[in-house]
Structure 1
Amino acid sequence: MVHALEPLVVRHTHRLPAPCGAAGQGGVAARQFDAALMSVGFKLSAELLGHLSALSEGTVVDTAVRTLDTVRAMVGDHVRHNAYFIDFPAHVPDTYAFWQQCVADAVDRGVAVAGLSDGVVDLLTLPAYGTYQHSYAELLAAHGELLAAAGDRLTVLHLGGAPDDEITALYLALAGSAAPLGDGGLPDLEVLAGHCVHGPQPEAIPVRENRAVVNRARVEAGADPLLDTVTDVLRLACGLSDGDVTLVQPTRFRSPSRRVRRVLLAGLDAVVAANPAKLADVSAHREAFKRLGERLHAHEYAARWPHAADVFAVARGEKRARSFDSRVEELLAADDVLGAARLLESAPGKLFRCLDRLLRACATDAERDAVAGVAARLAPEVSGRVLLSVREHFHNRARGSGARRVFVNRLGRAWATDESRSPLPEAVRARLVAALDAETSRRLPVPGHLLIDPDVLDVALPLSGRATAPGFGVLPRGSLSPVDGELLRFFVYWKQTSDTTDFDLSALMLNSAYETVSWLSYTALTEVEGEHSGDITEAPDGASEFINLRLGAVRGTYIVPQVNIFSGEGFEEVEESFFGFMLREGDQRGRPFEPRTVRMKSQLRGPGRVALPLAFIRGEDGRWRAKWLHVYLKGTPSANRVEGNRVSVAALVRGFVERDHLTVRHLTGLMADRGDVTTLWDGRTVPQGPVTYIGLERPDGLHPDSCVITPENLGDLVPE
C-alpha cells in the first residue's frame, strides 16, 4: 500500500520517500537511474543519489521502475505522441495545397468525393484526412536525437523521509490546507484520508470540502465525523454516495446502511440542537436536503432526532428559518447600511466579502468612514485567504472607468464585461488597503534570512486551489513566469472514451490593441510564426496535435493557445486529455514531443467547449512571459474554431492582462520588513546556514533546517 501512495508524494512534493531495503552496492544502478531520469528532464539530488548508492542493486532497480513511471506521467510521456505530418515541424504543406492533395488521394483510391463538382468538399469524408498515415515507430525513425542544450529542464527529486512519514505529512498538508484543493487535490486527499484515518490528524480543517472527504473516511472506518454545520452533513452524505462534496453538481443519493443513516441524522440533530440558527443554512441547498431526507426516511426518526426532523421540514417549506443573508438584504433595501454593517459584525468573513457593496451603498462620507472602521477593527478575525482576496479586489478598484472585469466560477468557466460599478473614494480605498496590509504583516512569520528566487516574485498567491489546474509545472491563475527559448511548442493529447472525438489545437496572435494578427490551426497550417502538426479527427487510441512557434518571428504582443472541441466528448467525458508547452533552442531537433523540454503540462478537465490554459505576453524589453489563465469558454455544442471565438477570447485575455493579481512579491515585501536579511538568489550560491527559501524549485544543498516554499507548497505562504 505504501508503494501505491508513493507517486502522490513524488507528484505533490518532488520528494522520493526514502527507499527501504538491504544495504549493498547500488552505486552503478543509482547512476543508471539518474541517467534515465535525465532523459525525461528529472535528476536525483546529491543526497538522494548517495542514499540509493548504499542500498542493494535490486532495491534501486525496483525504486527506479516505479519512479520513472511516475515522472513520465507527470510530464505526459506515458503515452505515444504521434503527429499527422511525419516530418513536423519540417515540410508542413500549405493548407489549401494539402486539402487538394487529400482530394486527389481520394480520387486515386476510387473513393467518390461528394460535392466535388460544386467545389464544396467535406474534409472528414476523405480517407487521407484526419487519421494517422504512419505508425509511431515510423515517426521516431524520421527524427534525429534531441541535442542537449543548456536550457533543457532538469527537475530535481530530493530525498524524503520514511515512506509512512512522507504519506502522513502529505495528508496533513492537504487536509489542513487553508485554500480549496480543486479537482486535482481532492481525489488525492480521498485516497490519503482512507490510509491515514487512524493516524495523526490536522489540528483544524478549515476548508469544508476537505472536511467532507476526511469525514467520509472517518465514517467508513467507524469513527465519528467532524460536523458543525448542517451543510457539513450534506457534504458528507454526498461523499458517501460518491457525489460532489463541493455541492456544485447534484448528487444521486444512495440508500444508506442503518449505521450511516444514524450517523447522518444524529449529526444533523446535534448541530441544530447546539445552534438552532443554523437551520437557516438549509435554504441554500433546499432540493438536496429534500432528496437526502427521502433516502434517510427522516420522518420515521422524528421522535428520536427532532432537530434533524426540523432540517427537512425547512427544506420542504413546512417550517420557516430566516437566513442571515435575508436579514442583511432587508436592511440594505431600507438604506440602513450601518445597520447591515452592525449585523455583519457577527460574520466578519461575510462582511469582508460584501464590503465593496456596503461602501457603494453609503450615502455620506461619514457612513463610508464608519463602515471602513468596522472592517479595520474586524480584520484580525478574518482568514488570511479572505484578507488577501479583498486586498487584491480593492487594489484593482483603482483602475477606474474603461477597465474590464473578469469572472471565473468554481468550475473555471470565465467571461468578461465592462466595469459598471461606481468608483470608490480614493481615501477610503487606500485606508482599507493599508489596514489589510498591516494585519497581513502582523500574521507573517519572522523569516530570518530570506532567500528569494526572482522568478517566483510574479507568481500569484494560491488563494484557491480551483485557480490551478492539476499537472506539472503549473502555476496559479494570474501568475507571470519567464519564457526563455527560441522555439515554443504547444501540445494537446486526448483519448476518447466511446464517441468519436475531435479536439483542435490552435494559437491566436493578437497585437497590443488585442486585435487579431494571425492564427495557426487546422485551417492555417503554416504562418510566418510557425507550423501546425495537422488535424487528427478521432482518438480511439489517443491522439496528439502540436503547434511550433518561432518566438522571434511572432507578429504582435500576445499568443493565446486554445483547445477547441470540434465534435464528440467534452473535456470531462474523454478518458484523458491534457495540454502543455515545450521550449527549445533553434538548433535542437528531436521528436515532436520531448519530455525533457516540457515546461508545463496540465489536465483539461472543465466545463465549456473551449479551453484557454494560458497566454504569452511580449514585454517592452522584448522578452516573453506566460500569463496563467486556467479557464474555459462555453463555446458551441460543435464545430468550435479559433476563427469563431476571436472576439470573446481577446476580451477575456485583455481582462486578465490588465488585472493585477496579488503575487508572492507582495508577501515577500512584507516579510522583508521583518527579516534579518533578504537576498535574491543568483541560481548558484547557497548560504551555509538556515534560510527561508521561496522559489520555483528547491536548490540542492540547502541547510536541513531551512524553511522551503515552492509552488508545491506555496499555500503555506498564505497566513492563516
Structure 2
Amino acid sequence: MSYRLEPLVVRHTLRLPAPTGPSGQGAAAARQFDAALMQVGFKLSAELLARLSELSEETVMDTAVRTLPVVRELVGDHVRHNAYFIDFPANVPDTVDFWRDCVLKALADEKVRPGVLAQLSAGALNLLTLPAYGRYQHSYEELLAAHDELIAAVGDRVTVLHLGGPLDEEVRALYLALAGSVTPLGDEHLADLAVLAEVCADGPQPEAIPVRENRAVVNRARLAAGAAPLLDTVTDVLRLACALSDGDVTLQEPTRFRSLSRPVRRALLAGLDSVVADAPGKLADVLVHREEFKRLGERLHPHEYPRWPHAAEVFAVARGERQAPSFTGRVEALLDAGEVAEAAELLKHAPGRLFRSLDRLLRSCGTQEERDAVVAAAEAVAPEVAGRVLLSVREHLHNRAGATRARRVFVNRRGRAWVTDPLRTPLPEPERRRLMEALDAEIRRRLPEPGELYVDPDVLDVALPLSGRATAAGLGVLPRGSLSPVEGELLRFFVYWKERRRSTDYDLSALMLDEKYATVGWLSYTNLTEVEGEHSGDITEAPYGASEFINLRLGAVRGAFVVPQVNIYSGEGFEEVEESFFGFMLREGEQKGRPFEPRTVRMKSELRGPGRVALPLAFLRGADGRWRAKWLHLYLHGSPSANRVEGNRVSVATLLRGIVEREQLTVRYLVELMAADAVTVWDGGEFPDRPVTWIGLQRPEGPHPQSRIVTVENLRDLIPE
C-alpha cells in the first residue's frame, strides 16, 4: 500500500516521508538524486539531504526511483512534448505561407493530388486532408537534437522537497487535514481522500467533518470497516448511497444506484430512521432531491423492513404520498406577504441560509425598522455560521458598495461561468457597513493567535480558498481570483492532451485585449506569428499525446491583458480524454533550450471541467508596467465543435472584465485581522530560534520545528471554522 500512499503525501505536502533502511554511505547517491531533481526544478532540503546521506546507497536509489516520477508528473515532465515546427520558437512561418507549403507538398504526392485538386476547383480546401498539416513531421528525438541545452538562470523555478515524518504519521495527518477541511475539496483531492479514508478507517478521526461531501467519502470507508456512518441529515444518507455507487457525492450529477447488499441496505435505512426519529422536520430536505430519493427507494426496499417506519416516511414524502412542509416554503410565504422581519426571525433557525439571503432580505425591506431587524438577526446568529460562509458574505458585501453597474459573473461548482447584467438595486449603505463590521469582528474572534507572524509578500494577494473547487490540481496553482507576480522576459504557454477513444484536436490560443477589453490581436493556429510571439503549430490528433506552445515576449505585448485559452476543435472533452493539462513557463531573454523545460515551469494544472473552452488564467499589465497572473479556472460552454479564439472573443472579454473588476478576499485580509505580536514581511532572512507562524507560497528552510507553517498546499487551514 505504501507505493500508493507515499506519492499522495509528496503531491499534497511536498514532504518526503522519512526514508527508512539500513545505515550506510549514501552521500554520493543523495547528491545524484538532488542533481536529478534539479533538472526538473526541484531539490532536496538540507535536512532531507542529510537524512538520505546517512542511509545506504541502495536505499537512497530506491527512494529516488520512487520519487522522481512523482515530481516529474507534478510539473508535466512525465510525457514527451513535441512541437509541430521543429525549431520553435525560431523559424515559425507566416500562416498563409505555411498553408501554401502544405498544399504544394500535397500536390506533389500522387496519392492525394486528385482529391486536393477537386477541392481547389470547388473553391474550398480542408486543411485536415493535407498530409503535412496537423501531424508531427519529425520524431521527439529529432526535436531534441535541434535545440541547445537549457542554460540555467537565476530565475529558474526551484521547489524544495522537505523531510517528513514516518509514512504512517504523514498519511494520518494528511487524512485528518482533508477529511476535516472546512472548505469543499476539488474532485482530485476528494478522490485522494477516498484512498486515505480506506487506510485510516480504524485510526483517529477528525473531531468534526463539516463538509458533507467529505463526510460521504469517509462514511463509505467507515461502512466497509464495520463502523457506523456519521449521519445527521437525510441528505447525508443520499450522499453515502451515491458514494457506494461510485457516483457524484456533490449531488450535482445524477447517480445510477447499484444493487446494494442487505447489510448495506439495513445500514442506510437504519440511518434514515434515526435521523427522522430525532428530527421529523428534516423530512422537508427530501423535497430538494425528490427524484434521487425515489430512485434510491427502489434499491433499498424499505417495505421489507417494518422495524424502521421513519425511513419509510422519507420515501413516502419523495413519492408525494405524505406532506412535509418546506422550511424554504415558509420563508417564501412570509416574503411574498411582505413580512421581511418575520422571515429574518424564522431564518435564524437556519443561520447559514439567513446569511446567504441577506442581500435579498435587505432589498426587500420597506422600512428602517425592517432593515434593523434583518441586521440584528444576522448579528445574533453570526457565531453559529460556518467560517467560509462568513467570508463569502463579507466578500459579497464589499463588492456591493454603491450603485455599481458592473456585470455579474456566476461560476458553478464545476467551473462553468456565465455573465448577466446587474439588475439588483443598491444595498442601503449604513446596513452594509454595519454588517461588514460585524463580520470582521466575528472572523477576527475565530482566528487563532499567531504569535510572531512571518509572511511572504507574494502570498498577500492570493485569494482565500473558500472552496477547493475554485482551483485545479497541479503545481503552483492558486485559487480563482488570486494575483501572483510574473517575472521574466519570455512567457510560454503549453497544453498537452492524449485522446482515449477517438481522434481529438485541442487548440491552444492567446487573446490580447486593451484596457477597455477590446481585441488587439491573437496567436493561434490561424495566426502563427504576431508582434508578441509565435505559435508552435496545429496538431489535430493525439493517439500518443500531443503538445502545443505559444511563445510571448512580454515587452512586446500590445494592450493590457493576455488570455490563454484551450479550445476543443473536435473529439473528446476535457473529462473524456486520457490526460490533459495546461501550464506556463518563464524564461530569461537569452535562455534557449527545448520548447518544454521543466525547471522553467511556473504552473501546471489539470484540465478537467465541463464545456468546450478552458480559461485557466489571464495575465494583466499593471499601471507600473509589471505583469501579474489572475487565476480563473473557468470553462465556457462553447460549441460542440470547431471552437476558435476568433469566435469567443466577446464572451471571453466580458467574462474577464467581470472577474478582474471584482475584488476578492485575500490572505492580506486575514493577516490584517490577526492580532499578532509582530508581523514580519519576510525578505529571505533568518528566522528566530523560537516557534513562529509562517504564511507563504512555499515552505521555507530554517523555522523552528514547532512553527506553524501555512503554504499553498494547506492554505485552506487559514479559513476559520
TM-score range, shorter chain: over 0.9
Q: How far 1:418 sits from its partner (Å)?
A: 2.2
Counterpart code for 1:83: A
> What stretches of structure 2 of length at least 5 have no aligned partner?
none
Q: CA RMSD in A?
A: 0.8
Instruction: Confirm or deny that 1:255 pairs with 2:275.
Output: no
Alpha-carbon distance in 1 for matches of 2:25, 2:702: 24
Name the residue aligned to 1:44: 44
Alpha-carbon distance in 1 for matches of 2:403, 2:481: 20
Q: 2:191 aligns with which of 184, 187, 194?
A: 187
Counterpart code for 1:139: L
Alpha-carbon distance in 1 for matches of 2:420, 2:490: 34
Deviating runs (4+, > 6 A) in structure 1? none
Counterpart code for 1:597: T
For residues 72-123 of structure 1, give each alpha carbon's deviation from its aligned partner in whole angstroms, at most 9, with x where no partner exists. Answer: 0001101111100000000000000000100001001121314212442100
For residues 142-180 of structure 1, give each alpha carbon's deviation from its aligned partner in whole angstroms, at most 9, with x where no partner exists. Answer: 111001000000000110000000000000000000000
Instruction: Confirm or deny that 1:10 pairs with 2:14.
Output: no
Report SS of the residue matched to 1:546.
Answer: strand
Report SS of the residue matched to 2:230.
Answer: coil
Alpha-carbon distance in 1 for matches of 2:450, 2:223: 40
Alpha-carbon distance in 2 for matches of 1:218, 1:376: 38
Instruction: Confirm or deny that 1:425 pairs with 2:395.
Output: no
1:201-600, aligned counterparts within 5 Å? Answer: 201-301=205-305, 303-398=306-401, 400-600=403-603
CA contact (8 A) 1:2 1:164 kept: no
Q: How far 1:517 sits from its partner (Å)?
A: 0.1
Alpha-carbon distance in 2 for matches of 1:286, 1:599: 46
Name the residue aligned to 2:693: 692
Counterpart code for 2:63: T
CA contact (8 A) 2:402 2:427 kept: no
Report SS of the residue matched to 2:238.
Answer: helix
Report SS of the residue matched to 1:397.
Answer: coil
For residues 236-260 of structure 1, give each alpha carbon's deviation from its aligned partner in whole angstroms, at most 9, with x where no partner exists. Answer: 0111111111111111111101111
Report SS of the residue matched to 2:401.
Answer: helix
CA contact (8 A) 1:45 1:158 kept: yes
Instruction: Confirm or deny that 1:646 pairs with 2:649.
Output: yes
Alpha-carbon distance in 1 for matches of 2:684, 2:564: 30
What is the count of residue pairs matched by the alignment? Answer: 717
Name the residue aligned to 1:99: 99
Report SS of the residue matched to 1:398.
Answer: coil
Q: TM-score, normalised by structure 2?
A: 0.99
Name the residue aligned to 1:22: 22
Report SS of the residue matched to 1:535.
Answer: coil
Name the residue aligned to 1:173: 177
Q: How far 1:686 sits from its partner (Å)?
A: 2.9
Change (3 A) 1:609 1:314: same
Alpha-carbon distance in 2 for matches of 1:298, 1:524: 63
Name the residue aligned to 1:65: 65
Report SS of the residue matched to 2:413.
Answer: coil
Counterpart code for 2:120: L
CA contact (8 A) 2:395 2:664 kept: yes
Q: How far 1:688 sits from its partner (Å)?
A: 3.0
> What stretches of structure 1 of length at least 5 have no aligned partner?
none
Instruction: Confirm or deny that 1:710 pairs with 2:715.
Output: no
Alpha-carbon distance in 2 for matches of 1:143, 1:310: 71
Q: How far 1:304 sits from its partner (Å)?
A: 1.6
For residues 548-605 of structure 1, give each alpha carbon's deviation from its aligned partner in whole angstroms, at most 9, with x where no partner exists. Answer: 0000000000000000000001001111100000100010011100111111111111
Q: How far 1:3 sits from its partner (Å)?
A: 2.9
Alpha-carbon distance in 1 for matches of 2:586, 2:687: 27
CA contact (8 A) 2:459 2:695 kept: yes
Range with bigger deviation, 399-408 or 490-499: 399-408
Instruction: Confirm or deny that 1:121 pairs with 2:122.
Output: no
Counterpart code for 2:181: S
Counterpart code for 1:153: R
CA contact (8 A) 2:344 2:373 kept: no
Q: How far 1:516 sits from its partner (Å)?
A: 0.1
Q: TM-score, normalised by structure 1?
A: 0.99
Q: How far 1:702 sits from its partner (Å)?
A: 1.2
CA contact (8 A) 1:181 1:464 kept: yes
For residues 259-298 of structure 1, give each alpha carbon's deviation from its aligned partner in whole angstroms, at most 9, with x where no partner exists. Answer: 1111111111111111111110001111111111011112
Q: How far 1:399 sits from its partner (Å)?
A: 5.2
Name the residue aligned to 2:139: 135
Q: How far 1:221 sits from its partner (Å)?
A: 1.5
CA contact (8 A) 1:525 1:533 kept: yes
CA contact (8 A) 1:487 1:584 kept: yes
Alpha-carbon distance in 1 for matches of 2:404, 2:460: 29
Range with bigger deviation, 679-688 or 130-139: 679-688
For residues 6-47 of structure 1, give each alpha carbon's deviation from its aligned partner in whole angstroms, at most 9, with x where no partner exists. Answer: 011011111000011111110000011000000000010000
Range with bigger deviation, 392-401 or 615-624: 392-401
* % identity of equivalent residues: 75
